[in-house]
Structure formats: C-alpha cells, structure tokens
Structure 1
Amino acid sequence: MRVAFTLNGAAAAVEAAEGMTLLQALRGPLGLSGPRFGCGAESCGACYVTLDGTAQPSCALPVEAAQGRAVGTVEGLGTPKAPHPLQTAFLAEQAGQCGWCLSGILVNAAALLAREPDPDEAAVRAALEPNLCRCGAQNRMIRAVLRAAREMRA
C-alpha cells in the first residue's frame, strides 16, 4: 500500500508492506537515522516523532496512521547552519552522552515547547518522563530544555 504524508515539511510517500511501522518506514525506505529503535514496546522514547505536532512513539505505530498527516523527526528540527535552540542548548549544557536517546528527547522537548513556551522544571520533567536515558544525563537535559525555552522567548 502507498502511504503519503508530510515529513519534516516536505511531501513524502512510502510503499508499505503489511505490518510496517512508521519507524520502519522512516529508517528503511525513507532513509532517516534520527528516530531509533529502542525497545519496540513504546516504553523508551528513542523512536519518538511528532504526528501533527504531538510527540509519540513510532516503533509500534502502523505506517498507515501517518496517511495525510504531518510527521516530524529530529532531522526536521534544525540545520547545521541554523540549529534549533534545543540543539544548541543541549550542546551548551553537555546534555548528551551516548546519544541513543537524544533524538527522541529532542523531538519530545520540541513538541513541549511548541505547546508550552514557558514550562517550569516540573512540566519539563513530566513531559520527558517517557524518554529513558541510561547515561544519567537527565538533569542536564532538563536544564537544556529550560535554557532553550528562555532563548526562544528572548
């Protein structure tokens, strides 16, 4: 079946086999590497993307759920010449270690800031609760999201 949607602001389509997940489509035929496979059970956040602006796991989401919708990945957040404020804040706060979780966390944090531009620490912690980081960088990540929020409001 052919599934067409908007991916990071551009038209995209994929010929999907039965049972294909959105994550498989993104990483396979669409060639993206940002969304990652972590647990396969929607429990770690490594595969987070936005679907019509709402962050959600893509590892168990059937690709046809994206039909006609807007999908966003970490690749759509910024460019090397114009990084997203979250990307620069994560670098400034040294909020990444191994990096496995970062794409999902950045996507989830971007969705949070889009709906709540001035979150407090508790709101950031609650929003990022589904995202696991085994490196222990969560406090730096919280600081980075709050820093990006301040920079985006300035």
Structure 2
Amino acid sequence: MRHLPLALLATLALVQPAFAQDAATDSAIRTLGLSDTSIHPKRERHHGTTIDGRLPGGTRVEVELEGDGSVEEIEARDRQGFSPSAVESLIPAAVRGNASYPADAMFHKVELDDRDHIEIEGRSADGRLFEAEFARDGRLIEMDYD
C-alpha cells in the first residue's frame, strides 16, 4: 500500500501538463470567441498547440499557442483577413491608442513575439498592404507599406 501514493503522484505528474495545456487552449478559444475549432498539439507538448477555428466575424484562422498557452500568432486562412476588433483582447491598450495603429485595416496576421513586440500584417483601409511593429508599451517601431 505504501507504493500506491507514489504511483498515484507519478501518474498525476504526467497528466497535469496535459490538463494545463487543455485549460490554456480552452482559454484561448474563449478569449478569441473561436468556433468550429480543431486542436493540433505540436509534437513536443512544451512547444504549444495549433488551433484552427473561425472568429466571430466568420474568418477562418490558425492560432499558434506557446507552451504556456499564450497566443503566439493568429493568421487568417483567407485573403480577406479579420478586423482589429476580433483580436482586440490580444493587443495592449497602449498599442491600440497609438495614432499609427491601423484600426481601420483588415489584419492578415498578428504575431506576439518574445521580445515584447507585436507585429501586424494586413491591408489598410485604402487597400495598401502593410507591416507594422509595435512595442507593448505602444511605441511604433516600424511601419512599411507596399
């Protein structure tokens, strides 16, 4: 009987990371309001998860999660893109408040990198393709138009 608690603890130690990942995945799905989802864990669990789903506006997207469950990237699966309001919960208020923030654009991709930068690719309201990079504190680092 003494070995049962150790065996149980060992089992729980193996199961806990999977449970935490599922909770983090569920949280990302709820935060973005995704529907019609399919979840694809990456080969190494600590590398995160990929979620395919549909945003509330109908755009199909692929969402990459880090191993800790935070959103690393969201990318549209079509050329139309998604509105900035669809990912507002991911973009700090300081960035959204910057005069250069493309609030009237359609986004194709948002990347939240580990350098505390936010990269946005999309099409401006006047139809030009753009790439923008902001610091999380709202500073515009770079804005390029094609």
Structure (1 or 2) with the greater helix fraction: 1
TM value normalised by structure 2: 0.38
TM value normalised by structure 1: 0.36
Structure (1 or 2) with the greater strand fraction: 2
Larger Rg: 2
| RCO higher in structure (CA 8 A, sep ≥6) | 1
